[in-house]
Chain A
């Protein structure tokens, strides 16, 4: 899941060197990921009305469903 977020984030930001993805929690039922990007790139990752962030979350959810886990992505 981390690999997916990393790929998408690095492709969408202006400064890929500032993209950091961390698995904050990985339990049986829940995965929590944390994505950090440069402040100037926040808008690109979140998108208007959060559309881009939610689309990334939706793809993560597909991965989660296959493993019976809920996935949350925090963008900080």
Chain B
């Protein structure tokens, strides 16, 4: 890995009618390829609707490589920026490599996670790598099981390359974000029910990351408390009304 003192180009934000157009324009602008930047979708395009004007997509490209020199070689710098950025660029490459070898035509977008269900609570906003393409349902699998496997393999490879544990979050077609939204709504709905009836409510069995979403959603609600009961695959959250 070569290290140069040349500063990398600054991140740029580009807007265009579609996300893909914006990425292409940005890459051309920087003289870099897809694997040499971190792609963040700032906002997706919105068609005009109900008399509202349409809105262009905005993407942010953060270079992790120097633009090609005359010899056509590009230099990818290691340990640039925060440790987290090094992690996300390695993870993006690993994930792209896995997809390529699985012969899946998809694009990996990186963005700051707005998920609360990440494994660590060190205050740092984790990165989330979202795989987008056509017909990727098999990559999610039943209850997200295949997605969990893809994340496991990616994390293991990234951890070996980084020589420290990686907790990068992998998503496919925004599945986790959508799932988290519906779990949050479920939590609030069931909490209201527990409050009204004065009885504790038990939810369906859920995997640990999903139970965690329920606990965190209701953490600041002082009318109910939550706890997990049962063991293994049968572990579920109970919402208990507080009596004052």
Contacts and interface: CB of A to CB of B under 8 A. Distances in A.
Do A and B pair up? The answer is: yes
A42 B145 CA distance: 24
A52 B141 CA distance: 17
A62 B157 contact: no
Contacts of B145: 58
Nearest to A66: B138
A12 B153 CA distance: 9
Contacts of A58: 141, 145-146, 149
Contacts of B94: 11
B216 interface: no
> Interface residue tally of chain A, by bracket?
10 to 19
A54 B138 CA distance: 16
Interface in B114-171: 138-139, 141, 145-146, 149-150, 152-153, 156-157, 160-161
B157 A12 contact: yes
A52 B160 contact: no
B138 A62 contact: yes
Interface stretch (B14-22, B36-44, B97-105): B97-105
Given A4-B98, A7-B98, A63-B103, A12 B138 contact: no
A7 B101 contact: yes
A3 B104 CA distance: 13
Contact of B149 (A3, A4, A54): A54
Q: How large is the interface on B (under 10, 10 to 19, 20 to 34, 35 or more residues)?
A: 20 to 34
A8 B98 contact: yes
Interface in A30-66: 51-52, 54-56, 58-59, 61-63, 65-66
Contacts of A65: 138
Given A54-B149, A58-B149, A11 B138 contact: no
Contact of A55 (B102, B139, B149): B149
A55 to B, nearest CB: 4
A10 B126 CA distance: 27
Interface string A1-22: 0011001100110000000000
Nearest to B156: A12
Nearest to B136: A62
B184 to A, nearest CB: 28
B103 to A, nearest CB: 7
A63 B173 CA distance: 18
A31 B70 CA distance: 45
A4 B98 CA distance: 7
22 contacts: A4-B98, A4-B102, A7-B98, A7-B101, A8-B153, A11-B156, A11-B161, A51-B152, A52-B152, A52-B156, A54-B149, A58-B141, A58-B149, A59-B102, A59-B146, A59-B149, A59-B150, A59-B153, A62-B102, A62-B139, A63-B103, A66-B138
Interface of A: 3-4, 7-8, 11-12, 51-52, 54-56, 58-59, 61-63, 65-66
For the complex of A and B, the 5 pairs showing the least CB-CB separation, nearest first, are A55-B149, A58-B149, A4-B101, A11-B157, A3-B101
